[in-house]
């Protein structure tokens, strides 16, 4: 205890002065007492000064050292400061860990105070909402992100559901924004980029609308004819046969659509490609025979530049993709035109191509041809038995074979659809 040690210290000084006084007289004793007291005061003042200086730069490594009573004081001070430094380091470490975890989150995080001012935000939030951390901290969020729906969301204080925010700056994005209050005053604003999900949902909605639309027309025709047949039992045989023929045609159209939809769905299920050795000349003969069958003598069908190659791929899928291209060439080429099939090896890569002298395609349509149900001329596609899914199926199959489709076309002159396979699919002859 410091006070006990102080008493002992001063009693020792007094005892020393008394002893000197007893031996050399009272004057000598008082003189010694005065000197000792003066030295004590100087000692205290000196250490007090050092302590004062230390408080101006209080660090662990510059705590002063001394002796006697002050040694005890400085030792305790050192122990305290060290302990404090340790817990401060620990706190800083924890804070840094939380900050890096916040930074690493794939979602945007903004900490808002009670007045909706930005206290902190991570990098993702900066990118999502175009916030500049160096200038925008302590600014009201809605002054930085000027979006009426966000202002309304914060105003209504109903945070049960996320807000869907469509941003144009810094990029066109769809964000799902959710506010989570986390203590009595502060809130977390979480933002998630759902652009892709939103796109997928739109594609899904469009797809269902398209399928319904495609099925509605033949269904209306079939049910219309069926009702007529029921209402007019005395209909003459020729009209009856004609109407039944039209009904069969429409049912076949629905059948083709359902078949194509099933093919697409099978391909999209992403089952692994069953690879085998495909005999290309045999496949080309099959395609030529099918083309001639479809054309029924209305076109010149030729096979040119047939390199005898073998390919690694799936025979049935490749047959389905290439015959789609061949059937399109026939369907979009008026009678009297020509269709040429070719199989060559260019720069070590096998290339299948089908050229026609048909109606051709304007350049603005070309990038969209492989979209489901995209047609340049809807009625021509329908009258020739098209479903609008052929090239979408082709695209999927080619992707599974890492092949690329190149379309060259000129309206009124003709088209060339070329499929370029990667070199590793080619087997040496």
**Binding interface with ligand ADP (CB under 6 A):** 328-329, 332, 356, 358-359, 361, 369, 374-377, 381, 386-392, 415
Distance, in Å, from the CA atom of 399 to the CA atom of 397, rounded to the nearest integer, reads 5
- In the complex, least distance from residue 282 CB atom to ligand ADP, rounded to whole angstroms: 24
**In terms of CB distance, is 50 or 416 closer to ligand ADP?**
416
Task: Please report the DSSP string for 358-387 in residue order.
Answer: SS---TTTGGGTTSTT--SSHHHHHHTT--
Between 112 and 329, CB nearer to ligand ADP = 329
Output 299 or 420, the one with its CB closest to ligand ADP: 299
The residue count for the chain: 429
Least spacing, CB of residue 245 vs ligand ADP, in Å: 22
Which phi and psi angles does 417 have, rounded to 5°? -105, 115
Question: Which spans in 232-279 are helix H?
Answer: 237-268
Contact assessment for residue 177 and residue 190, using Cβ atoms and an 8 Å cutoff: yes
Residue 199 Cβ vs ligand ADP, minimum distance, rounded to whole Å: 21
The nearer residue to ligand ADP, 104 or 302, going by C-beta atoms, is 302
Strands 338-346 and 300-306: parallel
Closer to ligand ADP at the Cβ: 323 or 415? 415
In the bound complex, what is the minimum distance in angstroms from residue 385's beta carbon to ligand ADP?
Answer: 8
Minimum CB distance to ligand ADP smaller for 301 or for 329: 329
CB-CB contact of 81 with 107 (8 Å):
no
Q: DSSP readout, 312-373?
A: EE-HHHHHHHHHHHHHHHHHTS-TT-EEEEEEEEETTEEEEEEEE-SS---TTTGGGTTSTT
Structure tokens at 16: 């020393």
Closest distance between ligand ADP and the C-beta of residue 262, in Å?
A: 16
Taking the complex as a whole, the smallest distance from the CB of residue 288 to ligand ADP amounts, in Å, to: 16
């Amino acid at each position: 205890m410091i006070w006990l040690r102080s008493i002992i210290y001063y009693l020792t000084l007094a005892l020393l002065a008394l002893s000197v006084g007893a031996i050399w007289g009272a004057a000598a004793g008082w003189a010694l007492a005065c000197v000792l007291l003066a030295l004590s005061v100087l000692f205290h003042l000196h250490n007090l000064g050092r302590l004062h200086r230390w408080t101006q730069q209080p660090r662990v490594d510059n705590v002063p050292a001394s002796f006697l009573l002050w040694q005890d004081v400085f030792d305790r001070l050192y122990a305290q400061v060290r302990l404090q430094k340790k817990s401060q380091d620990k706190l800083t470490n924890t804070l840094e860990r939380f900050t890096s975890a916040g930074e690493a989150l794939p979602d945007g995080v903004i900490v808002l105070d009670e007045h909706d001012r930005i206290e902190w935000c991570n990098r993702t939030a900066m990118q999502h909402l175009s916030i500049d951390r160096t200038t925008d901290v302590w600014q009201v969020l809605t002054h930085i992100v000027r979006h009426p729906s966000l202002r309304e969301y914060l105003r209504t204080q109903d945070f049960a559901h996320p807000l869907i925010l469509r941003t144009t700056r810094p990029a066109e994005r769809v964000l799902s924004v959710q506010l989570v209050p986390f203590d009595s005053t502060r809130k977390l604003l979480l933002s998630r980029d759902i652009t892709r999900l939103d796109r997928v949902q739109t594609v899904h909605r469009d797809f269902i609308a398209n399928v319904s639309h495609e099925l509605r027309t033949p269904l209306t025709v079939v049910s219309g004819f069926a009702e007529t047949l029921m209402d007019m039992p005395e209909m003459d045989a020729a009209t009856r046969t004609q109407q039944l023929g039209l009904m069969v045609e429409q049912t076949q159209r629905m059948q083709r659509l359902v078949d194509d939809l099933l093919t697409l769905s099978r391909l999209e299920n992403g089952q692994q490609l069953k690879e085998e050795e495909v005999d290309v000349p045999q496949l080309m003969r099959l395609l030529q025979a099918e083309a001639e069958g479809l054309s029924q003598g209305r076109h010149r069908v030729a096979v040119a530049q047939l390199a005898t190659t073998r390919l690694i791929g799936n025979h049935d899928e490749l047959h389905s993709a290439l015959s789609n291209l061949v059937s399109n060439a026939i369907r979009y080429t008026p009678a009297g035109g020509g269709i040429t099939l070719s199989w060559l090896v260019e720069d070590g890569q096998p290339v299948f191509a089908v050229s026609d002298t048909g109606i051709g395609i304007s350049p603005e349509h070309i990038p969209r041809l492989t979209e489901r149900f995209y047609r340049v001329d809807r009625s021509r596609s329908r009258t020739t038995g098209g479903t609008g899914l052929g090239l979408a199926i082709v695209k999927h199959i080619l992707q599974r074979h890492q092949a690329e489709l190149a379309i060259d076309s000129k309206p009124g002159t003709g088209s060339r659809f070329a499929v370029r396979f990667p070199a590793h699919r080619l087997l040496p002859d």
